[in-house]
Amino acid sequence: MSIANVIVDVPSQNTNRPFDYRVPKKFEGIVQPGVRVIIPFGPRKIMGYVVSLAEKTDFTKVKNIIDVLDVTPVLTHELLHLGKWLSQQTLSFYISCLQVMLPQVMKAKYRKELWKLSEEKLNSELENVFGGRAVIDYEEFEQAGISYHILRKHIDEGEVDVHYEVKSRETKKVTPMVEPKMDEIGLEEVLVDLSSKAKKQRAIVEFFMDHQEPMPKKHLLETLSTTSASLKPLVKQGIIREFKQEVFRDPYENREFKRTQPFELTEEQALAIQPILKTIEEKQHDVFLLHGVTGSGKTEVYLQSIQRVIDDGKEAVMLVPEIALTPQMVERFKGRFGSNVAVLHSALSAGEKYDEWRKIQRKEVQVVVGARSAIFAPFTKIGLIIIDEEHETSYKQEDRTRYHARDVAIERAKNHQCPVVLGSATPALESYARAVKGNYQLLTLSKRMNDAVMPEVELIDMREELHDGNRSMFSRILIEKIEDRLTKGEQVVLFLNRRGYSTFVMCRDCGHVQECPHCDIALTYHKNQNRLKCHYCSHEESMPTQCPECESKTIRYFGTGTQKVEEALQQLVPEARVLRMDVDTTRRKGAHERLLTKFGNKEADILLGTQMIAKGLDFGNVTLVGVLAADAMLNLPDFRASEKTFQLLTQVSGRAGRHEKPGEVIVQTYTPDHYSIDLASQYEYEQFFAEEMKIRKAFNYPPYYFLTLITVSHPNQLKVQEVTRKIVQFMQQKLSNQSYILGPTPSALTRINNRYRYQCMVKYKKEPEQRKLIERILHYYEDEMKQENGLQIIVDFQPYQLM
Ligand SMILES: Nc1ncnc2c1ncn2[C@@H]1O[C@H](COP(=O)(O)OP(=O)(O)OP(=O)(O)O)[C@@H](O)[C@H]1O
Ligand SMILES: [Zn+2]
Ligand SMILES: [Zn+2]
């Protein structure tokens, strides 16, 4: 008898262990660790993951496996093992840890198909089922009653494959598109002819005057909150054309990437790469921290290290923060390694992600470039893992399985006996501290490429501007310098760390701020729809015309979002062509890329944007960078606020003067004397590190102490207080006297979606029993946590979001 040990797809305390199922004869040899199966569970049929096989079971009543979803395991031995480790590290259920490693699609509805891949004749029965077709429904194969072993053999030979076609809407093969049939001038004439009553039509025409290119119909209608009916008359009159466009699943299929050759390394680069190559060769595990100033050629070091791994017949994982995974970045990897690269990031559709992931699983590529979750790439011979911009907090997943990609990378690299390279111009304090202690090997690139100097940073005290009567969000000197660049034909990047038109709505008379009725948070004004929205729950309402408190009509939106800055900029320098890049202008697929290409082609003078422009951009014609509000982040309730400010300012400044032309940076601030702003302006990383470490030490923060954040939530505030207090009491008794526990305190966001939130924080240096203690707490409240809308206890080890 053959038994499969299965982790079932039910995330709960009781099911957090393998269940035994019998493997029916017909599935023997097919059911193996790492495949997904369908099994009976209580009255239901659900999915599960086979984690191991056994000869016998201790249970008397064992049910049969109903179906096997994979012929090739989707999880390797190593990943199954890693899942276990992850589950212990994060205290999340094993099933959640297995699922976090796989593309979303594997949980979605799919159509199972059999694909014939080669011209070779198959087993005659099987050949009959295909009947000359290349793709058949998997059911047809099943109904034919052919042994799985025959199928297996053909799969192993690469002649046939099981494929999942996702049934989700996103993977639709064609999409309806619309485009204007005339140019801007033509549209202007149309607008003149249109009756002023045809408001919807006018809006569409005006929209196309700004956006000449084709776009998905759905997007147009959504953007203008209008319907097909208002589009129709324009189509009839031949002003707008409707057509269908095929949606390609390989996002880079139709792109030519110019092949690049390795540069001859500079002396510094050569010195840095040497120990990395040596470790690769010796198949050793080690962690390197590559500290290289912006534009020092870190990426070239990555590329050449990866090349060595490829030459050895091994595989490489390259992690990049989501927002830095720009087309420029992809181009550099595709340009060097061509089709040997899979790319994984969130802008891909579910189907595309699945396809890229399959390239890795099928060993069609040796390199993956991806965001956080690419760390789980199902490679089996990893020779190198690189994390670029290693200080980025987006490497920490903030929901469900709260893992940090850096920790997972190091664990996987141990499994594979290979090096990890962490790269950054501004390493995380934790990482640099480890390097100083000798836990990581420090490698340094201190010079920019082509002898380019770091751009000169000038701090502008905005209090003085105000004092001199300048109420604008632009200092006089910044405007002067922008004008100077315009006349020279050089380009400018302006950075603002906020998004949207404005953040909140406030009454000028009584100061009343419109808040979400379900969450303790100000509503955000969305100009396009003239509505207020809550960013934490789904609540929205129309913009009030008068203050609900005092009935005053002077209710205004406040804050400086990118749209508002754009408008102000247009008034100050009307001749400038401005590209705005924020979440709103980049929501559409490929928009990010189009904007950057435009900027790269010098079709715009100024690139104005949020965080997403701070990373990785490499444009030689950018000679001026402006930071509008450097303090925006300093005031967050977060002990990392100074560190984040320093990192961001350094990154942004790094965008200027990267090639021949020297660059210049203007930083507007209300606190020019703050050490993180002052030291960032001088590129004094080491000094900043020293200053910040003093503060961390004084307040017992990381890297001197580890943190564990426990957040409790419930609809009843008294209940939350009580549970949190009990947790604190329990921990206080059990923890060693070198640890602290802070709280209970209300979370910074005290109420979300009508649930109250309290928290406590453990600060510790060494607390080996801590996980066991917390497990006991979770166990104690198990029943209450099962109830719908009941108690919730979230545990976050090494948290980055303290809200
Ligand atoms: N050895 C080399 N010889 C000539 N040019 C090089 C060499 N190495 C890198 N470059 C070029 O120098 C520029 C800056 O390098 P790169 O973008 O790799 O720096 P980086 O350290 O990754 O920068 P950042 O962290 O700011 O993104 C690029 O245009 C790159 O092609
Ligand atoms: Zn009021
Ligand atoms: Zn809300």
Share of the chain above pLDDT 70, in %: 92
Structure tokens at 408: 């997972």
What is the pLDDT at residue 572?
A: 92
Tell me the average pLDDT of the chain.
86
Measure Cα distances from 32 to 35, 77, 93, 94, 499 in Å. 6, 10, 22, 18, 49
CB neighbours of residue 18 within 10 Å: 19
**Of the candidates 770, 716, 689, which has an alpha carbon nearest to the alpha carbon of residue 429?**
689
- Predicted confidence (pLDDT) per residue in 470-515, tens digit: 888 899 999 999 999 999 999 999 988 654 334 667 777 777 778 8
What's the rounded mean pLDDT across residues 520-546?
78
Cα 614 from Cα 71, distance rounded (Å): 44
Q: Is 390 in the pocket of ligand 1 (CB under 6 A)?
A: no
Cα 735 to Cα 766: distance, rounded to the nearest angstrom:
10
Distance 299 CA to ligand 1 centre (A): 6
Q: Is the pLDDT of residue 240 over 70?
A: yes
- Higher-scoring residue by pLDDT: 119, 377: 377
Q: Which atom of ligand 1 is nearest to the CA of 324?
A: 27
pLDDT in tens, 45-57: 888 999 999 998 8
Residue 15: its pLDDT value, please? 87
Q: Quote the ipTM score.
A: 0.94
Q: Which amino acid makes up residue 394?
A: S
Q: Which domains does the chain have, with CATH numbers?
A: 3-165 (3.40.1440.60), 174-246 (no CATH), 269-397+405-447 (3.40.50.300), 451-499+561-698 (3.40.50.300), 503-558 (no CATH), 706-797 (3.30.70.600)
d(CA 798, CA 803): 13
Give the long-range contacts of residues 640-645, CB within 8 A, separation 24 or more: 640/393, 640/800, 642/674, 642/675, 642/676, 642/692, 642/695, 643/391, 643/428, 643/429, 643/676, 643/692, 644/393, 645/674, 645/676, 645/677, 645/680
Evaluate whether 538 touches 518 at the Cβ level (below 8 Å): no
pLDDT higher at 255 or 128: 128
Q: Whose CA is closest to atom 8 on ligand 1? A: 297
Angstrom distance (rounded) from CA 365 to CA 377: 11
Q: Which residue has the CA at smallest separation from atom 18 of ligand 1?
A: 297
Name the token pair of 309.
Answer: 């791994």
Query: For residue 164, what pLDDT is reported?
Result: 64
| Structure confidence at residue 798 (pLDDT) | 92
- Assign residue 297 a region: left if phi > 0, alpha if psi is -120 to 50, beta otherwise? left
240 touches 180 (CB < 8 A): yes
Q: Which residues are annotated as a binding site for Zn(2+)?
A: 507, 510, 516, 519, 534, 537, 547, 550
What pLDDT shows up at residue 352? 83
> Cα(100)–Cα(94) distance, rounded to whole angstroms?
10
List pLDDT tens digits, range 185-227.
778 888 878 887 888 888 888 888 877 777 888 888 888 888 8
Peptide bond into 378 cis (omega under 30): no
Asked if the model's pLDDT at residue 296 lies above 70, the reply is: yes
pLDDT tens digits for 562-595? 777 888 899 999 999 999 887 667 767 677 778 8
Residue 666 CA to ligand 3 center (angstroms) comes to 37
**Residue 436 is inside which H or E element, if any?**
helix 429-437
Mean pLDDT, residues 619-629 taken together: 88
Give pLDDT tens digits for 355-377.
889 889 989 999 999 999 999 99
Neighbours of ion ligand 2 (CB under 5 A): 507, 509-510, 512, 547, 549-550, 552
pLDDT score at 316: 98
Residue 260 near ligand 1, beta carbon < 6 Å = no
pLDDT of 172 reads 36
Please tell me whether residue 579 adopts helix, strand or coil conformation.
Answer: strand
| 171 band by pLDDT with thresholds 50, 70 and 90 | very low
| Confidence label for 703 from pLDDT (cuts 50, 70 and 90) | very high
Distance 572 CA to ligand 3 centre (A): 37
Q: Identify which ligand lies nearest to the alpha carbon of 300.
A: 1
Predicted pLDDT of residue 501:
39
Atom of ligand 1 nearest to the CA of 294: 26
User: For residue 168, is pLDDT > 50?
Assistant: no
Q: What per-residue confidence (pLDDT) applies to 170?
A: 33
Q: What is the DSSP letter of 468?
A: T
**DSSP sequence for 237-302:** TTSEEEEEEEPPSSTTTT------PPPPPPHHHHHHHHHHHHHHHTT--EEEEEEE-TTS-HHHHH
Q: Which of 108-122, 657-671, 752-766 has the highest mean pLDDT?
A: 752-766
Residue 609, ligand 1, Cβ within 6 A? no
pTM: 0.79
Q: String of b and e for 338-361 (b: at least 16 CB within 10 Å)?
A: eebbbbbbebbbbbbbbbbbbbbb
Q: How confident is the model at residue 109 (pLDDT cuts 50, 70, 90)?
A: low
Neighbours of ion ligand 3 (CB under 5 A): 516, 518-519, 534, 536-537, 539
Taking CA atoms only, the protein residue closest to ligand 1 atom 15 is: 297
Probe residue for ligand 1, chosen from 618, 625, 665 as the CB with the greatest number of ligand atoms within 8 Å: 618
What the block records as the tokens of 501 is 């038109």
Residue-by-residue DSSP string for 28-44? TTT--TT-EEEEEETTE
